[in-house]
Structure 1
């Protein structure tokens, strides 16, 4: 979109363009998202940026009314650059900007060029913006001491934290905290994670519920819960355009990674309207498409990979029983429940008694992860999964789809998909070519129906 088209979208206050560009006003030095309720600025006073980080790097502050820094997708404006998209995901997962190029197999110069081309700022600036707005959420939703907020958000010192907050919001950390009311005695931290509405949160919960492992994951009363070492996370619908995450104060240092994990589980970075418009052209998919479609993700990519192996050619309930048995034998018991077995624990596990292919494939996968031959993060190569004995095309595609967040992953041999769509695996694979680059959403539409 050119500047004139962007301004027309602003004139129409069309919130559907949220996350696609940001409007900055020269006279006030404030930037907003499309759809902001503030008075429309004159065209000659406006500038447009591809990301919140780019606007802030140019010296603009986030609007306190429309909160563009919290707009869904502001860290995923990667265009068609798969390398950049993976770099953004790696930063969110690790909380670090260093070492990205090496993990992605590209040069530092090439990666910096991609960031400059698509986002207008270097990687460190993107991560700094991410940390800054996490700090604001912690200030507004908790009673954590300032030094704890600074450390949780990744700032090396309180001085740098104070400077960043003043520069980013035009207010001190204390002033930001005074603007909101934190309930007396509140110990949990509340995070608001935005998304492009609509979101069929309830359909995702219904999908997760029969697959939840006792003591590890639970779905009840419209809430998704996950056990971690420090306590239990809770995720619920917080409004039309955000989810609310409740986490123990002890998890504050991991808040950035937790937010990224929840975004992965509920696929909060997706733009459902664009996906629905594309897939809606296919007649056989239309009966399955629902507003707010998302791909059901996974909290722990390794756990999801193991469970994909366990789920080969058996029912959901039987696969869950096998996962429960594996957890009870090789997992870790904690005060709040269970932790799923780690790659290190399963790498040497003797799984005799389990069906032969699975018994060999799971330790082989674990060893490959421990030795670095297979990655299960944003730098993952799905093709590497198929080098593991016992991991075929269906398993690799399911792992890519649910654990790695690959939007075009598609298990064409999935029995449920073939039956629902009335096509044989080869026919389905051929038919799905026109559904690219969002074939994973076609699979999710059928699974969640």
Structure 2
């Protein structure tokens, strides 16, 4: 993969050996429509602002025929360009996957471009995963926007408006108490985030360990359980078996898709067992097929922890 430096950016054009749509692969990294670290422009270019071991970076990536074109800016530009193939699923191996349900087989046939990508960066996936613990997406995404905009660095390069990178562990540790309230974060999630920030460098090893060992390393931090570790693993190293057990909706959605009725986590574990070690891949196929559970009753009401 040839890299070229031009006008302060690092550029590359890559020919993957598989069908890939960057928008599809990178969409799981978006945290709501107003995510300041993830944008999709009118040309179909995905923009990602992120932290890296070398510093903040912005990556712009789009498909151009059979090729993928990417540009990156900032101190971490080389790092994100080096990781482009992994980010778009080049290391993903679905050769052993077997569809045990008709709907999963149909969804797989419809989405040959579905790949499980790897950012290789634990911290950027861990922060929003902690924010999303036991609250609505609307609540978590509001706090994510606040933290990125007010405590993250502006995204380097000629980027879309109002783009910011996630705050670094150092910035998170320096946030005063009253700012946490203003950002809408309760005490339990704040404590988990601060605990993770204090050992963030060591947690990056989880992306090297991968699999169960990587998830177990994350779970050593107070406040990080099975759900949070799985959400990080799915994004940081494209873990094909990391299931977000404990999710408010997941068991019900999968139950309706495959059985036509609600199930609980224990039943979800049993239902997905034939797909191990690629249980998360089966879920992604169902999501890609647009499976939705019928809604019953009022939605869960968001809470507001902000101090006024």
Q: TM-score, normalised by structure 2?
A: 0.71
Superposed counterparts of 1:39-438, under 5 Å: 134=1, 137-138=2-3, 142=4, 189-204=10-25, 207-208=28-29, 211=32, 214-221=35-42, 222-227=44-49, 232-240=58-66, 242-248=67-73, 254-255=77-78, 257-272=79-94, 274=95, 278-283=97-102, 285-289=104-108, 290-295=111-116, 297-298=118-119, 300-333=121-154, 336=157, 337-350=163-176, 352-353=180-181, 354-370=185-201, 372=202, 375-379=205-209, 381-422=214-255, 423-438=263-278
Assess if the C-alpha contact under 8 Å between 2:117 and 2:238 holds in 1: no
Q: CA deviation at 1:339?
A: 2.6
Q: 1:332 touches 1:338 (CA, 8 Å); kept in 2?
A: yes
Aligned CA distance change for structure 1 residues 406 and 231 (closer, same or farther; 3 Å): closer
CA deviation digits over 1:143-163, x for unaligned, max 9?
Answer: x5xxxxxxxxxxxxxxxxxxx
Specify which structure has the higher proportion of helix.
1
Task: Please report how far the alpha carbon of residue 333 of structure 1 lies from its aligned counterpart in structure 2 after TM superposition.
Answer: 3.5
Q: Quote the offset at 1:362 in angstroms.
A: 0.3
What TM-score, normalized by structure 1, do the two folds share?
0.51
* CA pair 319-230 structure 1, distance change in 2 beyond 3 A: closer
Query: How big is the shift at 1:348?
Result: 4.6
Separation in structure 2 between the aligned mates of residue 187 and residue 341 of structure 1, nearest angstrom? 23
When residues 230 and 419 of structure 1 are mapped into structure 2, their CA distance, relative to the original with a 3 A threshold, is closer
C-alpha change, 1:413 and 1:195, in structure 2 (3 Å) is farther
The RMSD of aligned alpha carbons is 3.1
**Cα offset, 1:210, TM superposition:** 5.5
Query: Secondary structure of 2:133's partner?
Result: coil
By how many angstroms is 1:407 displaced?
2.3
Q: Which has the higher contact order (CA 8 A, sep 6+)?
A: 2
Larger Rg: 1
Secondary structure of the equivalent of 2:172?
helix
After superposition, the C-alpha distances for 1:320-374 in whole angstroms (9 at most, x for unaligned) are 211111223422236654232111222354454212211110000111224x366
Once the two structures are superposed, residues 235-285 of structure 1 have per-residue CA deviations (whole angstroms, 9 ceiling, x without a partner) of 001333x4211235x77x953x2234333432232245x25xx24233453
Secondary structure of the residue aligned to 2:46 is: strand
Q: Aligned with 1:227: secondary structure?
A: strand
Alignment gaps of 5+ in structure 2: 158-162, 256-262, 291-308
Residues 322 and 237 from structure 1, CA distance in 2 versus in 1: closer, same or farther, beyond 3 angstroms? same
Distance 1:285 1:344 in 2: 43
Q: State whether residues 417 and 447 of structure 1, in contact with CA within 8 Å, keep that contact through their aligned partners in structure 2.
A: no
| Compared CA separation, residues 333 and 198, structure 1 to 2 (3 A) | closer
Q: Once structures 1 and 2 are overlaid, which stretch shifts more, 279-288 or 430-439?
A: 279-288
